[in-house]
Amino acid sequence: MEVHAHEVIVVGGGLAGTRALDELALRGVDVGWISKIYPIRSHSGEAQGGINAALGNHPQGHDDSPDRHAYDTAKGGDFLGDQDAIQIMTYQAPKTVREMEHWGVPFSRFPDGSIAQRPFGGAGFPRTCYGADRTGHFLLHACYQKYLTMRDRVHLYDEFYAIGLIIEDKVCHGLIAFNLRNGDLEAFISHAVIFATGGSGRIYGRTTNSYSSTALGVSMPYWAGVPIKDMEFVQFHPTALIGKHILMTEGARGEGAYLLNNDGERFMKRYAPNSMEIAPRDIVARAIETEIREGRGINHEKYVYLDVRHLGKQKIDERLPGIKSICQDFLGIDPVYEPIPIRPAQHYTMGGIDCDATTKTEVEGFYACGECSCVSVHGANRLGGNSLLETLVFGEIAGRNAALAVQGKGKPKDHSLVREALKKKEKELQELYNRGGSENPYKIRDELHDIMDHKVQIFRNKEDLEEALKGIRELEKRFHNIRSISKSRVYNYDKTWTLEIKANLDLAEIITLGALVREESRGGHARTDFPKRDDEKWLKHTIARYTEEGPELSYKPVTITKWQPEERKY
Amino acid sequence: MAQIGENVVLKILRYDPDLDKEPHYETYEVPVAKGLTVLECLYYILENYDGSLAFRSSCRAAVCGSCGMKINGKFGLACRTLVENLKGTHITVEPLANLPLVKDLVVDLADFYKKYTVVEPYLIPKEIPEGKEFYQSPDDRKNLDGLVECILCGACYAACTMTAWDKKFPGPFAMLAADGKLRDTRDSLGDERLVDLTDEHGIWRCHDEFNCMEACPKHLSPTGAIHHLKRESVKYRFTSPKRKELVDEKPKQLPAVIPEALTARRSFMKSVFWGGAGIVGAGLLFLFSPLFSRQIRGWESGWITVGKAPDVQAGKPFEITYEQRKWERGKLVSYPKRAYLVKDESGKLSAISPTCTHLGCICYWDESIRMFLCPCHGGAFDKAGNVTLGPPPAPLARLEVKIEAGTLYLRGEVA
């Protein structure tokens, strides 16, 4: 049994986690960095379109300001976002983007040599800074490269699955991780743990998220008693390539792409006459889904066209080379000459671990940032280009706050609490992996996907949600009867996937329950039986806590600073 | 090609260090659906047949670089390889080469990541502008295209014969990253980045086999990057303040014995660059020794018409192109060729062939240091074609020149 001691432990190799490292290393803190995949493989690298900051570089963006950015973000989130946190994020944005540029991100450029910006959904000004359509990749690699300069203070444990938090009396003491290389459970003790584990998209079958974007990062703290927030708000990206559901960047529409239905009509004019294709994602996704439902999908099938042909080969090669090669690789079509068949797919988890703008949670020494957290800046619907920004801004804040909290404490000493937790976890896993039942866990996962894709999707209603909840609870029961898992010691992915499926089931239940109870339509949560937003009753965050009997819901007020809720028109 | 509804057979290299002494192959059948990828096949096997099958994956969109492996003998990404694009109904899947095998399709990447850090792939910025970004022109940014998109999947590393041969060679991907920072106008290290890349395990190890380019799932060209680094490092030797010691220092030679396999591979050089350097080399053999070449059937001999005679300044080599014709399968085929016209102080005109006398790469004239530079192994020649640096054993070949009625003619005669 191995016990590793570090002053701070960061979990997650994506942008938020990597950004936090710099703040910690800068202050001389000894860091243990845990990631279930090698950091550069993280889902942050899949982000394409860009990162928002009111730099005012765009010729039409001279009047842009952090306040305008904050207003757009609050309105885009249907006023469920906490406006104090939103303002912190948007005021930090220009500094953050420039800092990334100084770290080496190869942003695209305007003729005057400044960082290029493009229009994005729901933004009053073109403020999305981009590096072609590979912005996430560039940011992630620059942050990883920065990590390479501080390896003396940051110890990387890659291919370690964090599987359980050690929390006693609302104080976090560390965590237990599963070492893929040898199959051992190892304990990590620290004064602070920063969670930056990313989104939970793989609860859905039709998702743009990578295989690694699972619910475990949110379920783990949930099981350990940390409340989670607003899970029913799930973003569906309007334009995911059919078949593989791979993201086709919003940047395409930012550059001027059309959405066309079977009649060749730019149907967005009926849904958002002013913004057309660059309305916020929830609105565009609902528009596409409505077209499909009403039989105007291409050839009456379940997709519409994203058409970039009129942009011309040169512009596509220069600004959208990534989606061009994805289309060629996976569908064998060239978007220069053919329209891209797309359909909305799950894309982002607005909800997550409940924390505030300091990234602190209810549990002392436990911080959360990035997509796994819910600060909440995105409210009920995230604007494109704000997620990369959130990871960096709040990653930095988490790193700084954790560093300040642990300064001078030195490495924690080994104590009995950890050994006890380790033993308990070992027993728990033994049980999970040796149930010897008849159910194939992957079959259960497929059925979960089916339920989520059809019943907890863009348009929701009471009947569907009730059925879904029943179905999920049924699956949870069946999960108790799963077959025995492979005994292999080295790189046993069967074990990790089984655990992920368990986590997905639990979080799916919370999403569905939250959606069922919230009897209104707000942002990404659209109830056909309650089509109006109801500020009187529902302008509040949903909080879910773990109990033996299932999630327990409560509510929390929303912080409003400058902008009173108004009707969203685009 | 496996049809939809049929099964495809995957033959997968399996190895469990706890159970097996040696790796072995096992086969599995997977039903084919539209758009099925090799990665999805692997998941199908893990979920339905054998949970112990180990392979890395994450994004399934050819962006994260996790699932680099060898599929039907070619290195690439499992997520990007569609079953319907593969020939036959059998697919062989093996792990990346040149890296220690850990289990099944999982290799130990520690060395790979370490080599990435060796080239200092991070920006070491110039003085950071207060409250602003660095200004970089769109053209300067464009120079970075093809250098910053690498996803570190390891396909090039596994395909490179030089990484297999020289354990200290950083590998194509690392060179690509190094060139990306060298060309970045925001970086402060500049040419100093070249110093560590030019030792005997560095850029000169690359022998232009283009395996890395062929393997790269992002269609990048590490070979191109290495060529750029080579050119820059030769220039650096002449322009650096430390020039004297660098030039006086005996140039580091390649080991006397080059393995048979490597020399043999040269003959397979892909015709991606310059329409086939091998053909150019053969063409120049003709130019070197016309007596010999005349005996080879099908070679054209005698004077070649180049065109209107250009106005050449004394002391400044002038690049010309001409057509070398050759009989091939009963047909007369033309190949574009290059030469440099040189006028000496006395006004005498001659022509220099830019084919390096070391291994036949094509040199080019660099006006900034006034030398012919070879992009392959750092050979350099002065304006008369005499060797000034590097491995070339002889001066550049000379061609005979005549001008009649304003028309320039060339003939392959060694001076």
- The per-residue pLDDT for range A503-520, each reduced to its tens digit, is 999 999 999 999 999 999
% of residues, chain A, pLDDT over 90: 97
CA distances from B140 to A428, A471, B118 (A): 57, 56, 25
φ, ψ of residue A205 to 5 degrees: the values are -85, -45
Confidence of residue B113 (pLDDT cuts 50, 70, 90): very high
pLDDT of residue A78 exceeding 60: yes
pLDDT one-digit tens code per residue, A361-373:
999 999 999 999 9
Contact A137 B131 (CB under 8 A): no
Instruction: List CB contacts (< 8 A) between A40 and chain B.
Output: 64-65, 151-152
Q: Concatenated DSSP letters for B67-104?
A: TEEEETTEEEETTT-BGGGSSSSEEEEEPPSSS-EEET
Average pLDDT, integer, range A2-30: 95
Scanning every residue of chain A, which has its alpha carbon at the shortest distance from the alpha carbon of B59?
A210
Confidence of residue B410 (pLDDT cuts 50, 70, 90): confident
Is A154:A147 a contact under the CB 8 Å cutoff? yes
pLDDT one-digit tens code per residue, A374-398:
999 999 999 999 999 999 999 999 9
Confidence of residue A413 (pLDDT cuts 50, 70, 90): confident
pLDDT of residue B211 exceeding 90: yes
A157 touches chain B (CB under 8 A): no
The strand pairing partners of A257, in sequence order, are: none
% of residues, chain B, pLDDT over 90: 48
Averaged pLDDT score across all residues of chain B: 84
- Selection from A207, A206, A318 nearest residue A252 by Cα: A318
Average pLDDT, integer, range B290-296: 39
Contact A114 B133 (CB under 8 A): yes
pLDDT one-digit tens code per residue, A254-282:
999 999 999 999 999 999 999 999 999 99
Closest partner residue to A113 (CB to CB) among B64, B82, B137 is B137
- Sign, CA torsion A526/A528/A534/A538: negative
Average pLDDT, integer, range B131-141: 95
Is B415:B351 a contact under the CB 8 Å cutoff? no
Closest partner residue to B133 (CB to CB) among A98, A322, A491 is A98
Confidence of residue B281 (pLDDT cuts 50, 70, 90): low
Residue A237: DSSP 8-state: E
Q: Concatenated DSSP letters for A94-131?
A: HHHHHHHHHHT----B-TTSSBPEE--TT-SS--EE-S
Helix, strand and coil percent figures for chain A, each rounded to 5 = 40, 20, 40
Which pair of tokens denotes residue B401? 């020149």
Rg of the Cα atoms in chain B: 26
Closest partner residue to A329 (CB to CB) among B18, B80, B132 is B80
| A281 belongs to the catalytic site | yes
Q: Cα dihedral angle (B229, B230, B235, B240), rounded to 10 degrees?
A: 60
3-state secondary structure of A182: coil
How many other β-carbons are positioned within 10 Å of the β-carbon of residue A557? 9
- The predicted structure's pLDDT at residue B262: 41
- Selection from B280, B259, B367 nearest residue B315 by Cα: B367
pLDDT of residue B105 exceeding 60: yes
Measured CA angle at B82 (ends B77, B86), to 5 deg: 100
pLDDT of residue B259 exceeding 70: no
Confidence of residue B272 (pLDDT cuts 50, 70, 90): very low
User: CB-based contacts of B234: which residues, under 8 Å, 6+ apart?
Assistant: B373, B374, B378, B380, B389, B390
Choosing among B1, B55, B58, which should be mutated to test the A contact, i.e. which has the most A CBs within 10 A? B58
Helix (H) or strand (E) holding B343: strand B331-343
Under 8 Å CB pairs connecting chains A and B tally to 167
Confidence of residue B305 (pLDDT cuts 50, 70, 90): confident
pLDDT of residue B299 exceeding 60: no
pLDDT one-digit tens code per residue, B167-210:
899 999 999 999 999 999 999 988 888 888 888 889 988 988 89
Choosing among A40, A96, A248, which should be mutated to test the B contact, i.e. which has the most B CBs within 10 A? A40
% of residues, chain A, pLDDT over 70: 100
Averaged pLDDT score across all residues of chain A: 95
Q: Cα dihedral angle (A72, A74, A79, A85), rounded to 10 degrees?
A: 180
pTM as predicted: 0.87
pLDDT one-digit tens code per residue, B81-91:
999 999 889 99
Contact A494 B218 (CB under 8 A): no
Average pLDDT, integer, range B257-264: 42
Closest partner residue to B58 (CB to CB) among A37, A142, A488 is A37
Q: Which one of A118, A134, A206, A281 is the catalytic residue?
A: A281
Contact A494 B52 (CB under 8 A): yes
Instruction: List CB contacts (< 8 A) between A497 and chain B.
Output: 46
Contact B122 A485 (CB under 8 A): no
Choosing among A37, A41, A130, which should be mutated to test the B contact, i.e. which has the most B CBs within 10 A? A41
- The better pLDDT of the pair A46, B291 is held by A46
Confidence of residue B311 (pLDDT cuts 50, 70, 90): confident
Instruction: List CB contacts (< 8 A) between B179 and chain A.
Output: none
Q: Cα dihedral angle (A277, A282, A283, A286), rounded to 10 degrees?
A: 110
- The predicted structure's pLDDT at residue B301: 56
Scanning every residue of chain B, which has its alpha carbon at the shortest distance from the alpha carbon of A43?
B59
**How many angstroms separate the CA atoms of A330 and A242, rounded?**
10
**How many angstroms separate the CA atoms of B132 and A10, rounded?**
30
pLDDT one-digit tens code per residue, A414-458:
777 888 899 999 999 999 999 999 999 999 999 999 999 999 999
Measured in Å, how far apart are chain B's first and last C-alpha atoms?
Answer: 58
- The predicted structure's pLDDT at residue B196: 82
pLDDT one-digit tens code per residue, A453-500:
999 999 999 999 999 999 999 999 999 999 999 999 999 999 999 999
Residue with tokens 């073109």: A126
- The predicted structure's pLDDT at residue B413: 52
Closest partner residue to A134 (CB to CB) among B16, B135, B149 is B149
Touching B: A residues 169-208, CB under 8 Å: 181
pLDDT one-digit tens code per residue, B319-352:
988 887 777 777 777 778 889 998 888 888 889 9
- The better pLDDT of the pair B5, B90 is held by B90
Contact B133 A104 (CB under 8 A): no
